[in-house]
Amino acid sequence: MITSLNIHYTSKVDLYNAKTLLANHPSNQILIQVFSGQVTPAAIETLLNDLRTVFPNVPILGTTTGGEILNEQVLEYSIVINISLFEHTTVRTLLVDNNDDLTATGEAIGDGLKTFQPAALILFGCGLKNRRTIDATSLLSTIYEKLPQTIIAGAQAGDNGKGENTLVFTEAGMTDSGVAAAALSGEKLIVNNRYNLSWVPIGKKMTITKVDGARVYSIDNCPPYTLYSHYLGQEVADGLPLSAADFPLIIERNGIPMAIHAIGVNDDGSFEYIHSFQPGEQLQFGFCHAGLLALGAQETFNSLRTEPVQAAFIYSCVSRKWILGEDIKVEIAPIATLAPTAGFFAYGEYFTFPRNECLFFSQTMTVLTLAETEASSAPIDRVALLSDHDSKQLKTLRVLHRLVETSAREIESINAKLAELANKDSLTELSNRRHLDERLEHEFYRAVRSVGPISLIMLDVDCFKLFNDTYGHVEGDNCLRSLAGVLKVIIHRPIDVVARYGGEEFICVLPATCFNGAMLIAEKIRAGVENLSIAHRSSIVVNFVTVSVGVITVEQGLEDMSPEYLIKLCDEQLYQAKSRGRNQVAGIAL
């Protein structure tokens, strides 16, 4: 059984009431969590001294906040203390003073607690570095790799929205550039966690087109500012980056939707985000309202009410509090009906998907519950979070949301079909010259980064002008369609590009293909066209249609070349094939 006590701390006197409760209880089976809206080092030092005096040798885990949670109440600039007494669980704390290398910090925490075999690990990390929010992804993934059986929870310290300095601490001391951890170990400890995003995607899907880590230069080939002003209006654009929190970008990673908002606007027009992106990732704008919040809170409450809960801790994003105001209580109040509840509003949240991964969230509410019994808890009635009026409003909003989403999907489908048509050669249905140029540039620079080979094949129909003069342009078009059919059958990897380059010339781009492989494919193409046996009595080669083929493979030195130069080299090999008598393949590897 866990005994959980919450204290609204104003002075040392507030601690004495709990002193009797802790008397004769093993100190290593107690955890004191502190959520402080007083964010100066002096205030934290005074608080720590009081706690260490009244509760000597008791493990302490604390953080500065952007707001405090005391049962169903949301407070500001106050100090909330939770004291958890365990019967069968041992507590160990650790303070690592290093956020310059979060991977090394994660290794230190994981290695330091591995033999302890924690069932739960609560982390409070310093939330800021150089006045920017820290991305804790590498910290969490490293710890999870070291402790894969542990549920990791917690969040990053706040400073009441000042964006200047955050502090975390244990009984050993405090730091403004590190991580504080409390590990809970015990075979009878029952740990559960849930999260509630509530932000939902709306509108068209957009694509990250130029990015360097968390610095985004373009989305849909537009500067981020242009995109925000176009879709959200000038008022939102003028309020960036703060206004971006109201409309975060929603991205799905490994099937998990995440909200990511801008935290900085650079002089060159690029935006800094709280997470990193990859080129090609798709996202949408998100929105939230009280109805969605209530719906998510209902689901969270109903999933937790079936589990034993003796202590509950909420680690939620400060953005939710700023944006939703008083409505934020809708998702906190139900949790407080399950057990004594405490927590804080943070600059990013930590959440573990058991046997999967631990993620760094933003704009999300996370809940950690603890218990020390396997006996079923007394049934808890469902909590009605919405009035009849609110339910009607929510129904209307759902219909509107469905209307916008359905319209957006239909427009997206139409645009995709139009884009496909714009990229195709109308005669052969292969890629056209414009699409070839785009894909070749993309694959060329990918080959430069991966230091991998890239091959090009260029082919030309032998004596095609004479074919048109003899049989007419309609038969000439039919001939090119038949040749395109051969190319489609032979070259079918998704990463390959087959395009009509112009007239009777075709180009194939083969990423990650060695010279021997490219030459083999080129010979298959030559033989495949020959096997079509399309009559060509005017040919100076043979009396049926043939092609000449040039091949170029570059395995090193790509960084000194360009896509245009590769085409030039391949054209030279095509010329060699023609000069040697046509209906053959010529190639070179560099």
Around 517, how many Cα atoms within 13 Å sit in the side-chain half-sphere? 16
Cα separation, 367 vs 192, in Å, equals: 8
Cα separation, 259 vs 154, in Å, equals: 18
How far is C-alpha 497 from the geometric centre of its chain's CA atoms? 29
- The number of residues in the chain equals 590
Between CA 358 and CA 370, with CA 364 as vertex, the angle to 5 degrees is 60
Residues near 286 by beta carbon (within 8 Å), at least 6 away in sequence: 199, 200, 201, 202, 247, 248, 249, 250, 259
Around 123, how many Cα atoms within 13 Å sit in the side-chain half-sphere? 33
* 546 CB-contact burial (10 Å; exposed 0-12 / middle 13-18 / buried 19+): buried
Helix (H, G, I), strand (E, B) or coil at 430: coil
Answer yes or no: 281 catalytic.
Answer: no
Cα separation, 265 vs 216, in Å, equals: 10
For residue 53, give the nearest of 9, 16, 95, 94 by alpha carbon.
Answer: 16
DSSP state of 292: H
Structure tokens, 430: 């292969």
For residue 525, give the nearest of 488, 557, 566 by alpha carbon.
Answer: 488
| CA dihedral for 509, 514, 517, 518, sign (positive or negative) | positive
H helix runs in 23-132, sequence order? 41-54, 102-113
Residues 467 and 479: beta-carbon distance below 8 Å: yes
CB atoms within 10 A of CB 264: 17
Between CA 148 and CA 153, with CA 150 as vertex, the angle to 5 degrees is 120
Which pairing describes strands 365-371 and 311-317: parallel, antiparallel, or unpaired?
Answer: antiparallel
Residues near 49 by beta carbon (within 8 Å), at least 6 away in sequence: none
Structure tokens, 426: 């109308």
Cα separation, 112 vs 107, in Å, equals: 8
Cα separation, 339 vs 119, in Å, equals: 20
Residues 567 and 509: beta-carbon distance below 8 Å: no
Structure tokens, 567: 């085409």
Around 350, how many Cα atoms within 13 Å sit in the side-chain half-sphere? 31
Cα separation, 585 vs 341, in Å, equals: 75
Residue of 171, 372, 443, 504 marked active site: 504
Cα separation, 375 vs 302, in Å, equals: 18
How far is C-alpha 521 from the geometric centre of its chain's CA atoms? 39
For residue 220, give the nearest of 262, 177, 282 by alpha carbon.
Answer: 282
Residue 486 backbone phi and psi in degrees, to 5: -65, -45
Residues involved in catalysis: 504
